[in-house]
Amino acid sequence: MRPFSSLTAPACPLPIVNIDTDQLIPARFLRYPRSEGYSDFLFRDLRFDTDGKKHDFPLNEPAYAKAEVIVARRNFGSGSSREGAVYALVDYGIRAVIAPSFGDIFASNAIKNGLLPAQITEEAAEQLLAAGDMVAGRPVTVDLESQTITVGNLVLPFAIDPVWKKQLLNGWDDIDLTLGQSQLIEAFCTQDRQARPWVVPNAS
Partner 1 sequence: MTERMTATIIDKLWDAHAITTREDGQTLLFIDRHLLHEGSFHAFDQLKARGTKIARPDLTFGVADHYVPTRPASSVGNPDAAEMIRQLERNARDYDVLSFGQFDPRQGIVHVAMPEQGLTLPGLSLVCGDSHTSTHGAFGAYAFGIGASEVAHVLMTQTLWQKRPKRMRISVEGRLPSGTAAKDIALTIIATIGADGARGHAIEYAGRAIRALSMEGRMTLCNLSIEAGGRLGLVAPDETTFAFLRGRPFAPKGDVFDRAVEDWRRLATDADAAFDRDVVLDAAAIAPTVTWGTTPEQAAPITATIPDPSRIDDQNKAQAIRAALDYMDLRPGQPLDGIRIDRVFIGSCTNSRIEDMRAAASILAGRRAIVPGLVSPGSASVKRQAEEEGLHTIFRDAGLEWVDAGCSMCVGMNGDTVPSGERCASTTNRNFKGRQGQGSRTHLMSPGMVAAAAVTGRLTDVRGLARE
C-beta closer to partner 1: residue 81 or 121: 81
CB of 93 to partner 1, least distance (A): 20
CB 51 within 8 A of CB 43: no
CA 47 to CA 60: how far, in whole Å?
7
For 170-187, give the secondary structure using H, E and C: HCCCHHHHHHCCHHHHHH
CB 87 within 8 A of CB 34: yes
Stretch that binds partner 1, among 63-71, 97-105, 133-141, 146-154 (CB under 8 A): 97-105
Contacts of partner 1 in 99-128 (CB under 8 A) = 101, 103-105, 108-109, 112-113
Contacts of partner 1 in 167-186 (CB under 8 A) = 174-175, 177-179, 181, 184-185
Angle (CA) 62-65-69 rounded to 5° is 130
CB of 171 to partner 1, least distance (A): 14
Of 59, 75, 71, 160, nearest in space to 124 by CA: 71
Q: For partner 1, how many residues bind (rule: CB under 8 A)? A: 60
CA 197 to CA 169: how far, in whole Å?
42
For the window 28-47, what string marks contact with partner 1 as x by the rule CB under 8 A? x-xx-xxx---------x--
Displacement of CA 4 from its chain's centroid (Å): 12
Tell which one of 14, 42, 67, 73 touches partner 1 (CB under 8 A): 73
Within 13 Å and on the Cβ side, how many CA atoms surround 191? 6
CA 86 to CA 166: how far, in whole Å?
19
C-beta closer to partner 1: residue 50 or 153: 50
CB of 89 to partner 1, least distance (A): 13
CB of 21 to partner 1, least distance (A): 8
Binding site for partner 1 (CB under 8 A): 15-18, 20, 22-23, 26-28, 30-31, 33-35, 45, 50, 73-75, 78-84, 86, 101, 103-105, 108-109, 112-113, 161-163, 166, 174-175, 177-179, 181, 184-185, 188-189, 192, 196-204
